[in-house]
């Protein structure tokens, strides 16, 4: 992705790359879909947008993508305001919606070319760009297929190709991995990480937290239309999380756990692994040392859930407004 943009974007505000959102609000009639969202997504990093169903994520993305006007608050995308300078934002921003739009009759190649033409590229350059992107998202073999014939995962890849046509510096990805098979997910992760490494700002919305753990550097949590405060996040992130423990001798492991005074209610099993909650990494490390000291032959000892998931689950347990 080292293409020179074919459409020169107006100069962005120096030092104002990335996405900066402050006090954003948007209602639909009586429904306050977004009531107070504030966050920053920085260039060179992948930022996860995390929240339960109906939290306001899609409404937020639509406002960032210039497709919906906020009722209040400010937005800067790559240094431009989507409300006052929507065309400038569209030039620097690539948007991958959670479902590919129509254009059913067009071939895959043509769908990319037409997008490139809409961004003002010449016919020749649009063709070249289609070649580059078909290869990038591994759709060369389907270049002539009508887009209606694509599977869900193939449509996702075409959608990503279209979002990248104009080599944007800011990328908004809504559930990008949905429908992708495991190999395509790994390829997507590597592609997105590479795009961020090159200095782009990437904001990814997904419900699959395990996937975001491997993809994102930072996270913004949204709940009931509002971004969650740093203070609440810190409390949620401090909640105990389960660790998965395995041993060559499961009976010795179980017996030692009981002998160490762990309440039975805290112990659960998945297959041949034991799950135990620890309040901190320090507590987990001490417990492991004790197991080893007792001669338990431990083969695996690791958190069963990642940081994003622990925080997400912890938010359900801590009190207080977002
Ligand atoms: N056009 C609309 N008209 C009325 N209500 C809407 C509209 N769009 C969204 N909403 C409401 O706003 C709230 C936030 O919706 P939004 O789609 O932004 O949530 P989300 O976080 O993307 O949810 P999900 O994770 O389920 O996709 C929901 O209560 C939804 O019903």
pLDDT tens digits, one per residue of 274-302: 999 998 889 999 999 999 999 999 999 99
| Claim to verify: residue 139 and residue 276 sit in the same structural domain | no
pLDDT at 47 over 90: yes
Answer yes or no: do 259 and 209 share one domain: no
Structure tokens at 288: 């492991």
* DSSP single-letter state for residue 146: B
**Is the domain of 152 the same as that of 247?**
no
Q: Whose alpha carbon is nearest atom 18 of ligand 1?
A: 56
Q: Please state whether beta strands 268-270 and 72-77 pair in parallel, antiparallel, or not at all (unpaired).
A: unpaired
Q: Do residues 94 and 112 make contact, with C-beta atoms less than 8 angstroms apart?
A: no
Please, what is the average pLDDT of the chain? 89
Beta carbons within 8 Å of 202's beta carbon, 6+ residues apart: 41, 45, 46, 47, 170, 171, 173, 192, 195, 196
Closest CA to 1 of 178, 193, 172: 193
Q: Which atom of ligand 1 is nearest to the CA of 52?
A: 25
* Of the residues 174, 195, 227, the one at which a domain ends: 227
| Alpha carbon distance 267, 248 (integer Å) | 18
Give the model's pLDDT for residue 100: 66
Residue 285 covered by a domain? yes
Instruction: Name the residue at shortest CA distance from atom 17 of ligand 1.
Output: 58
**Same domain for 294 and 175:** no
Give the model confidence (pLDDT) of 189-231 as tens digits: 999 999 999 999 999 998 888 889 889 999 999 999 999 988 8
Are 120 and 211 in a shared domain? yes
Number of DSSP helices (H) and strands (E) in the chain, helices first: 11, 13
Q: Considering the domain boundaries, does residue 9 fall inside one?
A: no
In a domain, 82, yes or no: yes
> H helices within the chain, ranges in order?
57-64, 86-92, 108-118, 123-136, 152-163, 182-197, 209-215, 230-237, 250-259, 281-293, 307-315
* Residues 180, 259 within the same domain: no
Whether 89 is covered by a domain: the verdict is yes
Which residues have C-beta atoms less than 6 Å from ligand 1? 28, 31, 33, 51, 53-59
Tell me the CATH number at 193: 3.40.50.300
- Residue 308: inside a domain: yes
3 SS3 class: coil
Reported as a single tens digit per residue, the pLDDT across 132-191 is 999 999 999 999 999 988 888 888 899 999 999 999 999 999 988 887 888 888 888 999
pLDDT at position 10 is 45
pLDDT band at residue 272 under the 50/70/90 scheme: confident
Give yes or no: residues 281 and 136 share one domain: no
CA dist., res. 60 & res. 316, Å (int): 22
What tens digit of pLDDT does each residue of 248-270 get? 999 999 999 999 999 988 999 98
**Residue 8 pLDDT grade (very low, low, confident, very high; cuts 50, 70, 90):** very low
C-alpha 155 – ligand 1 centre gap (Å): 23
d(C-alpha 36, C-alpha 45), whole Å? 23
Q: Whose CA is nearest to atom 12 of ligand 1?
A: 33
Note the ipTM here: 0.97
From the CA of 59, give the closest atom in ligand 1: 18
Ligand 1 centroid – CA 267 distance (Å): 38
If asked whether residues 274 and 303 sit together in one domain, one would say: yes
Per-residue pLDDT band for 66 (boundaries 50, 70, 90) equals very high
End-to-end Cα, the chain, rounded Å: 38
pLDDT of 2: 40
Please give the residue range of the domain that contains residue 264. Answer: 240-315
Residues 213, 246 share a domain? no
- Say yes or no: 45 and 181 in one domain: yes
Domain check: are 156 and 192 in the same one?
Answer: yes
| Contact (Cβ atoms closer than 8 angstroms) between residue 188 and residue 177 | yes
Would you say residue 320 has pLDDT above 60?
no
Among candidate residues 227, 248, 269, the one where a domain is terminated: 227
Tell me how far the alpha carbon of residue 219 lies from the centroid of ligand 1, in angstroms: 20
CA dihedral 313, 314, 317, 318 (to 10 degrees): -150
Using the predicted structure, report yes or no on whether residue 12 has a pLDDT greater than 70: no
pLDDT in the model for residue 91: 93
6 found inside a domain:
no
- Continuous segment of H or E residues that includes residue 264: none
Instruction: Look at residue 261 and tell me if it is in a domain.
Output: yes
Protein residue whose Cα sits closest to atom 4 of ligand 1: 28
* CATH number for 252: 3.30.70
Q: What is the mean pLDDT of residues 66-91?
A: 96
Q: Domain end: 202, 227, 252, which one?
A: 227
Tokens of 94: 């690539």
* Edge-to-edge strands, sheet with 72-77: 72-77, 19-28, 31-41, 226-227, 218-223, 46-50, 201-205, 170-174, 93-96
Q: Based on the fold, state whether residues 209 and 290 are members of the same structural domain.
A: no
What SS3 state is found at 181? coil
Quote the number of domains for the chain.
2
**How many angstroms separate the CA atoms of 149 and 163, rounded?**
20
CA distance 302 to 281: 10
User: What pLDDT band is residue 4 in, cutting at 50, 70 and 90?
Assistant: very low
Cα 308 to chain centroid, rounded: 11
Residue 4 lies in a domain: no
Give the number of C-alpha atoms closer than 13 A to the C-alpha of residue 113, restricted to the C-beta side. 15
The position carrying tokens 């009639």 is 29
40 or 104: which leads in pLDDT: 40
What is the CA(56)–ligand 1 centre distance, in A?
6
């Amino acid at each position: 992705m080292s293409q020179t943009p074919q459409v020169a974007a107006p100069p962005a505000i120096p030092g104002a790359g990335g996405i900066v959102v402050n006090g954003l609000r948007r209602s639909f009639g009586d429904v306050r879909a977004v009531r107070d969202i504030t966050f920053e997504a920085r260039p060179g990093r992948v930022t996860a947008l995390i929240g339960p169903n109906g939290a306001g994520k899609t409404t937020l993305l639509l406002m960032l993508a210039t497709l919906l006007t906020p009722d209040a608050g400010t937005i800067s995308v790559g240094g431009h305001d989507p409300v006052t300078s929507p065309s400038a934002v569209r030039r620097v921003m690539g948007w991958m919606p959670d479902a590919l739009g129509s254009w059913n009759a067009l071939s895959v190649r043509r769908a990319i070319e037409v997008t490139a033409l809409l961004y003002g590229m010449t016919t020749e350059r649009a063709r070249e760009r289609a070649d580059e992107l078909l290869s990038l998202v591994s759709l060369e073999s389907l270049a002539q297929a009508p887009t209606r014939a694509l599977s869900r995962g193939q449509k996702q890849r075409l959608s990503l190709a279209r979002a990248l046509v104009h080599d944007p510096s800011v990328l908004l990805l809504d559930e990008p991995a949905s429908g992708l098979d495991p190999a395509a997910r790994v390829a997507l992760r590597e592609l997105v990480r590479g795009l961020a490494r090159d200095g782009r700002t990437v904001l990814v919305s997904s419900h699959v937290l395990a996937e975001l753990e491997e993809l994102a550097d930072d996270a913004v949590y949204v709940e009931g239309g509002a971004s969650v405060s740093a203070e609440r996040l810190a409390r949620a992130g401090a909640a105990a999380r389960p660790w998965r423990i395995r041993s060559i001798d499961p009976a010795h492991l179980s017996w030692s756990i009981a002998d160490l005074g762990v309440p039975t209610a805290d112990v659960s099993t998945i297959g041949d692994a034991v799950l135990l909650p620890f309040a901190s990494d320090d507590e987990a490390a001490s417990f492991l040392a004790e197991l080893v000291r007792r001669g338990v032959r431990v083969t695996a000892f690791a958190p069963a859930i990642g940081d994003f998931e622990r925080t997400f689950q912890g938010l359900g347990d801590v009190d207080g407004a977002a």
